[in-house]
Each structure stands twice: as C-alpha cells, then as structure tokens.
Amino acid sequence: MVCNRCIMVVENELRQLGYHPANIVLGEVEVEEALSQDDKERINTHLLKFGFELIDDKKSRLISQIKSLIIALVHEHDSELSMNLSDYLSQKLLQDYSHLSALFSDVEGTTIEKYFIAQKIEKVKELLVYDELSLSEIADRLNYSSVAYLSNQFKKVTGLTPGHFKKIKADKRKPLDEV
C-alpha cells in the first residue's frame, strides 16, 4: 500500500470479507482474528483484484516496510530528514543498514538510494505539474543542496530538464507503486 486511499480500500475489502482490521498503516495490516492458510489465500485472491498482494514472509515484509518508510518520508514529510537515510531506516526497522541494503538490492534489483531518488523525482514531477512552487522552492522543500543538483538529478533520471518537463507535462508521472 502506498497511499491513504490504498489503506481505505484494503480496510473496506477486509471488512467486506468479514475480517476486523485492528491496525492498518502503509504496507502493514493487523487483523483481530487468527488467520488460517485458507483465510490468507482468500484475502490474497481478493486483494489481487485491486493490485495488492498479501506478503507473509519476513524478507518481503521488510522490503515493503523499507518502501513504505521511503514513500512516507518523501511524499508526506517532504524528505525532512535530520539524519542519513541509512541511519533513519536502521533506526526505524531496528536492522543493520548493510543487511537492509543487500536484501533490498537482491530482491528489487536496485539500491535503496536509487529507489529513494526515484521517489524524490516523482515528487518533483508532482510539484512541477501543480505549478505552485518555483524550482528553487521545490529544491528547498525536498532538501536538495541546490537547484543545480536537483536539475542534474532530474535530468539523469528522466532524460528531461525540469523546465522542459514543466512545459510538456503530458503523462510523464508514474503511480507510486510503479516507481
């Protein structure tokens, strides 16, 4: 789950199936009932219709937690980090960053840092499309050291300059779950 609407959909669907969600946050659901394997398969089959997948193994759950933390950090908190991303993830997940990094790279085929950058670039695209902030304000909001650094990273990821992207705006954004 990558947004609040995702949480609402999952909660509604679980309730329709007769389950009682106790806690739902991005990437995690706790239900009051003990779930049998049949329950899990039923839930998974139902959630697949909406593009969600039940993750029940530790590695996949950890990857999902990493993604959820990064998405929340970038899209809800505008990348407000008072520490390194590696320290932040280690602290939040109570795991050594080298373990998190190796696992993420093995499973996802990209690094945590590249995933973080991709999320930041999607946020930049969103802000450019809204056309309410200058590039300087966007750079400041997302904790880029300079407009030049933001522009270089944007071009490296998208192949376009922020100015060119702002002009064309046509269907260049991706849903967060496809980043």
Is 76 inside a domain boundary? yes
Q: Is the pLDDT of residue 1 over 50?
A: no
The CA distances from residue 174 to 63, 78, 94, 153, in Å, are 20, 18, 31, 17
The answer on 70 and 47 residing in a single domain is: no
pLDDT digits (tens, 9 = 90+) for 86-135: 999 999 999 999 999 999 998 899 999 999 999 999 999 999 988 888 99
For the segment 43-56, the average pLDDT, to the nearest whole number, is: 78
100 phi and psi angles, rounded to 5 deg? -60, -45
The answer on 164 and 133 residing in a single domain is: yes
The answer on 23 and 107 residing in a single domain is: no
The residue among 36, 55, 74 that closes a domain is 55
Q: How many domains does the chain have?
A: 2
The answer on 96 and 46 residing in a single domain is: no
pLDDT of residue 167: 81
The answer on 170 and 86 residing in a single domain is: yes
The answer on 140 and 105 residing in a single domain is: yes
Stated pTM of the model: 0.69
Is 133 inside a domain boundary? yes
Encoding tokens for residue 103? 């696992």
Range name among 36-40, 68-72, 83-87, 175-179 with the lowest pLDDT average: 175-179
The answer on 28 and 11 residing in a single domain is: yes
The answer on 121 and 49 residing in a single domain is: no
Is 72 inside a domain boundary? yes
The answer on 113 and 29 residing in a single domain is: no
Q: Report the candidate in 144, 141, 171, 140 with the shortest Cα–Cα distance to residue 158.
A: 171
Spatial distance between the Cα atoms of 25 and 4, rounded to a whole number of angstroms: 9
Q: Print the domain residue range for 31.
A: 1-55
Is 179 inside a domain boundary? no
The answer on 72 and 27 residing in a single domain is: no
Is 80 inside a domain boundary? yes
Q: Is the pLDDT of residue 28 over 80?
A: no
The answer on 133 and 96 residing in a single domain is: yes
CATH number for position 160: 1.10.10.60
